[in-house]
A and B are shown apart, each in its own frame.
Chain A
């Protein structure tokens, strides 16, 4: 076992630091540009240096680096330390770009990948519908060809970024006669058109991170389809070899935990700092056991990636583990807040990746930890996945019957 990164990566780290020192935050004329322009310009430089868009070929605007999870980790750490913009946030870089690279036509890659990688094109995902949540393949939004144009009718929901997005990648039913999964196609849609109406959904936290999207005769060209007609379900499952791993969210948990300890130092219990209370100390140490398990499991998965070992069932557990630990942190924070728990936190949304601050910030975190349990596959669906794919238990009979 060896937890050091080794000389080669120490050199890389020094190079990344030197690059960042001269590139971010921008100086001179660059500092006068609007923030978004600063970010695009910085990403272009970082891509040219080989630090971002590493899995994207050069001809589509990436830096086309050999897969090296440790290099990617070093780069992420240094960018985070300098608070420099990393990969463009959002569902476009996470899901659409890898999908296009794997399944898209040449012209589609050229048209959409370069600007998506920079963050100039913002995407939203048209998957969930009011009647189709965990059972996504039952979706009803339909698309029909009118000459060379798809005409789309239906409703999508829980759509993040829909108000700002330039495009949507959308699952639509195009083959109504086919079976449930085989009737779906993967279409790309311009969001700025009259057939689309976006209504924000206000959350219990007061913010509105996601939306309802009404498609009423929205139109998109016949060839804005990824994969063939009826292949949309398969296309949406496309997964690629990624440099990503669970370390990012383990670091987030560690930051949250540190903030929780700081809260326990400030809070009072029985006239003393809460951190001197035996019960609080037990609960903190108990949570830390979970946080560290998650952090070291991240190292384990990173190492497995590096050495071509199969991560086994652990990879299926990352999301639920992250969810559970975040909830434990949230619950203890509420106990530490005391009367602060009476406040209305509405409007105290925080930047993703920042640990909670102040009573209102912790209350938002307390509520948001529920959102984590639901978004991107609910905790109960995660348990099905662990049980069925991880432990080899029989598949849910209802899910099987409805295929």
Chain B
């Protein structure tokens, strides 16, 4: 029995944490956030050098051969730092190939994706709120793909898209292929920019194991979002506590006031125990298949809701300054909006959890 992290896992988190602190904290993060163009590909190259791009890719294809839990631990650190970039889409694209690709597809793509030479992403949501779940996918694909997908992470920079298509299957489309048009979408979260991708008889290949892997891919997305949310919510709490220890009113730091102290304690209580919820969901994905789907649904619903509330509380704790564009709190606030809505809001996954329990 050990429901805790190994030394290697702690080292992995520490390494990524150090990278984030060095490459993208403070004004550097702000520059990314303000910039009109997406500058995150530079950061991504650095993360790929640390091995993050191929974490779940088998060693024979040049990856680290680790599990979803390890990927989720990285997601937590990136969420904590609000690191801009294509981590989420790329991780899911590599996972789709690992779970469902033919040996030839894996040989062709995985080494490039693992090395960070190619960037992957996933196109899941149907346009106009048509749905994120495999059973809702409507884009058509056999040897060519047709349809429109929204909220594709890093759509403009990706080389390869894993597209959710009708019948709950998965198709590979190269972004440069003819018939593929990408336009940016105005997303609130500027750390994870997304685009709309239209496929007009674009050449594609189906992933042979796609239909079986699609729900698993969705579950992995939910776990990674939950992990990002935990990291972000923890950061919100840290920002709030820090502010309470420095801001003075009535001649003392405001952390002396019990009203605020209790608000911060309540925040901590919503956040810290939920770490184990995302750990469990990530662990179950690989080790406890019977529990994995429901655990992922509950973790995503619980943690992204907790993150949103933590971000709201953090604005409130900061007072007027928290409401300004200038204050960095909005970066996490908007990341919380993304984590909450991407792949379906908490209510969607609670209803799924209810159904899965046989209620």
Pair B273/A261 contact, Cβ less than 8 Å: no
Pair A390/B273 contact, Cβ less than 8 Å: no
Which residues of A are found within 8 Å of B295, using beta-carbon distances? Answer: 292
Q: Of residues 248 to 296 in B, which have CB atoms within 8 Å of A's CB atoms?
A: 252-253, 255-256, 258, 261-262, 264-266, 268-269, 272-277, 279-280, 283, 287-288, 295
Pair B1/A6 contact, Cβ less than 8 Å: yes
A278 to chain B, nearest CB (A): 7
The answer to whether residues A394 and B3 also contact, given A288-B298, A288-B353, A293-B273 and a CB cut-off of 8 A, is no
Can you name 10 A-B pairs with beta carbons within 8 Å?
A285-B350, A285-B351, A286-B350, A290-B302, A300-B275, A386-B268, A387-B255, A391-B237, A391-B265, A394-B256
Please report A residues at the B interface, Cβ cutoff 8 Å. 1-6, 9, 70, 261, 264, 275-276, 278, 281-282, 284-286, 288-290, 292-294, 296-297, 299-300, 302-304, 306-307, 309, 312-314, 317, 320-321, 324, 380, 382-384, 386-388, 390-394, 396-397
Chain B interface mostly: helix
User: Counting CB contacts under 8 A, is B66 at the interface?
Assistant: no
Contact of B4 among A1, A70, A276, A396 (CB under 8 A): A1
| B353, closest chain A residue (CB) | A285
Chain A interface mostly: helix
Which of A290, A384, A396, A397 has the most C-beta atoms of chain B within 10 angstroms of its own C-beta? A290
Say which size band chain B's interface belongs to. Answer: 35 or more
Pair A314/B2 contact, Cβ less than 8 Å: no
Which of A278, A281, A296, A320 has the most C-beta atoms of chain B within 10 angstroms of its own C-beta? A296
User: Counting CB contacts under 8 A, is B325 at the interface?
Assistant: no
Pair A383/B353 contact, Cβ less than 8 Å: no
B239 to chain A, nearest CB (A): 12
User: Counting CB contacts under 8 A, is B241 at the interface?
Assistant: yes
Pair B268/A390 contact, Cβ less than 8 Å: yes
User: Counting CB contacts under 8 A, is B69 at the interface?
Assistant: yes
Report the Cα distance A284→B138, complex, angstroms. 32
Report the Cα distance A67→B1, complex, angstroms. 16
Contact of A392 among B241, B273, B347 (CB under 8 A): B241
Pair A388/B261 contact, Cβ less than 8 Å: yes
| B240, closest chain A residue (CB) | A391
Pair A317/B279 contact, Cβ less than 8 Å: no
Pair B350/A281 contact, Cβ less than 8 Å: yes
| B241, closest chain A residue (CB) | A391
Which of B245, B262, B269, B275 has the most C-beta atoms of chain A within 10 angstroms of its own C-beta? B269
Pair A303/B3 contact, Cβ less than 8 Å: yes
Which residues of B are found within 8 Å of A290, using beta-carbon distances? Answer: 302
Which residues of B are found within 8 Å of A289, using beta-carbon distances? Answer: 274, 277, 298-299, 301-302
Which residues of B are found within 8 Å of A312, using beta-carbon distances? Answer: 272
| B346, closest chain A residue (CB) | A286
Report the Cα distance A290→B303, complex, angstroms. 10
User: Counting CB contacts under 8 A, is B341 at the interface?
Assistant: no
A187 to chain B, nearest CB (A): 34
